Amino acid sequence: MTDNTHYHAILAQGSALPTLLCGHCQSTLSRNRIFGNQGDNYLDIQCNTIGLCSADDCGAVNCCDDALARVENPERVFGIAS
């Protein structure tokens, strides 16, 4: 059985740096677990950018498209430490 459940990442409010949160548990999504949904990283969901939650007991797949659309310069998300 394949679990196709995914969540929508949330842009943290009031953060000095663009920070994406897991739509399931609200943990910070690490920049090294956010990637384009293409090639070897392709998941069968309608989403251009995927974020995998690394929180214990979560591991949710997050679509980051809506959250990234709210960032003035989405490339900044990939340049920050998390």
Q: What's the pLDDT tens digit per position in 15-28?
A: 878 899 999 999 99
> Which residues, 6 or more positions from 30, have their beta carbon under 8 angstroms from its beta carbon?
54, 82
pLDDT of residue 1: 37
Q: Check whether 3 has a pLDDT greater than 80.
A: no
CA 46-52-54 angle, 5° bins: 165
- For residue range 34-54, list pLDDT tens digits in order: 989 988 878 888 999 999 999
Among 4-8, 39-43, 74-78, top mean pLDDT goes to 4-8
Mean pLDDT of the chain: 85
**What global pTM score does this model have?**
0.82
In the predicted model, is pLDDT for residue 81 greater than 60?
A: no
